[in-house]
């Protein structure tokens, strides 16, 4: 069975929204950490807002990772979009939990979820997340969408941790489903 891997840039106060604050901390070690995600995944799962941002930015991009982003299979969860036009994109409009459960049961590598705060909340609420790959940045943003919204409780098991020279810490967790 495939695993759904939520990968987020996270401020110290838990904000994942609009992570422009992460740019000054980016370095080759973080790029390598993020590259490993792409090496072990063959599918992206995106919410509407993240999809629209990526679809506007990546097709003309030639930076490292552009080939992956433009060619990987993409599933877009949205109840408001009527079509998706970015290469290899499929729209999921209805029966979201059922469709995602089917997707997890297909053969293949990991399914990555970048950004997509609202979608991530749905995944968490239906226990569909198998792993969290978090890059925690040494900033306090003060407001914005958080990874875990108020009222959510979870017990996670730490699989890996790594610190980078820029002060960013990578934390990899899986739900402790005892």
State the virtual CA torsion across 168, 177, 108, 162 in degrees, nearest 10: 20
Please say if the pLDDT value at position 99 is more than 90: yes
d(CA 129, CA 66): 25
Please say if the pLDDT value at position 5 is more than 90: yes
Please say if the pLDDT value at position 21 is more than 90: yes
State the virtual CA torsion across 117, 81, 107, 97 in degrees, nearest 10: 60
Q: Taking residues 23-48, report their average pLDDT.
A: 95
Number of domains in the chain: 1
Query: What CATH number is given to the structural domain containing 87?
Result: 3.40.430.10
Q: Would the pTM of this model clear 0.75, i.e. be above it? A: yes
**Which structure tokens are listed for 80?**
């408001």
Q: Taking residues 12-16, report their average pLDDT.
A: 94
What average pLDDT does the structure give for the chain? 94
**Residues of the domain holding 24:** 4-175
């Amino acid at each position: 069975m495939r695993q759904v891997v939520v990968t987020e840039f996270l401020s110290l106060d838990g904000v994942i929204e609009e992570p422009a604050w992460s740019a000054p901390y980016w370095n080759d070690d973080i790029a390598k950490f993020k590259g490993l995600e792409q090496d072990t995944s063959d599918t992206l799962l995106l919410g509407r807002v993240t999809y629209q941002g990526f679809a506007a930015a990546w097709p003309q991009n030639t930076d490292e990772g552009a080939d992956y982003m433009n060619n990987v299979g993409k599933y877009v969860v949205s109840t408001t979009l009527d079509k998706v036009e970015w290469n290899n994109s499929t729209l999921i409009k209805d029966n979201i939990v059922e469709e995602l459960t089917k997707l997890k049961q297909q053969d293949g590598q990991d399914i990555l979820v970048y950004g997509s705060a609202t979608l991530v909340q749905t995944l968490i609420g239906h226990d569909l997340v198998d792993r969290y790959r978090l890059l925690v940045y040494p900033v306090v943003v003060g407001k914005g969408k958080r990874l875990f919204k108020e009222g959510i409780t979870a017990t996670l098991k730490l699989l890996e941790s790594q610190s980078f020279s820029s002060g960013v810490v990578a934390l990899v967790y899986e739900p402790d489903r005892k």
